[in-house]
Amino acid sequence: MPRLKKITHHILVCTHKHCLKMGGREAGKELKQALKDHGLRERVLVTAVDCLDQCGAGPVVVVYPEGVWYGGIDGESARQIVKRHIGGGEIVARKVMRRMGGDEQ
C-alpha cells in the first residue's frame, strides 16, 4: 500500500448514462488531464462510479476528504477544481451542490 500513503484527495466521477449524456466522459478526461498537467496525478485517486444519484445535476463529481459535491461539470470547471480545489485548497463555489459535514450550499 505505498501509493495510498501519497494520496491526498479522492475524486468520484459519476459515469451513469445521464451524466455521460451531459458531457461526463469529457469532463472526466479533462479532470485527469488537468491533474497530470498540474503534477497532481500521483496525489489524487480518481474513481468512476456507476451513479451518484443526482440525475439532472450532472455531470457530478465529489471531492474527498472535504466531501464537496460539484454539479454541472464541464471541461473548464474540471480544470478549475483541479487548480483551485486540489492544488490550492479553495472550493470552486459556483459549482458546489453540497458540502458534507453540515456546511450546506
Q: What is the pLDDT of residues 30-67, one digit of tens each?
A: 999 999 999 999 999 999 999 998 888 889 999 999 99
For the chain, what percentages of helix, strand and coil (3-state, to nearest 5) are there? 40, 20, 35
Question: Within a 10 A sphere around the Cβ of 76, how many other Cβ atoms?
Answer: 11
| pTM (predicted TM-score) | 0.88
| 3-state secondary structure (DSSP) of residue 50 | coil
Give the model's confidence band at 105: pLDDT under 50 very low, under 70 low, under 90 confident, else very high. very low
pLDDT for 58 equals 86
Q: Name the amino acid, one letter, at 47.
A: T
Alpha helices by DSSP H, listed for 1-105, are: 2-6, 17-21, 24-37, 75-80, 87-88
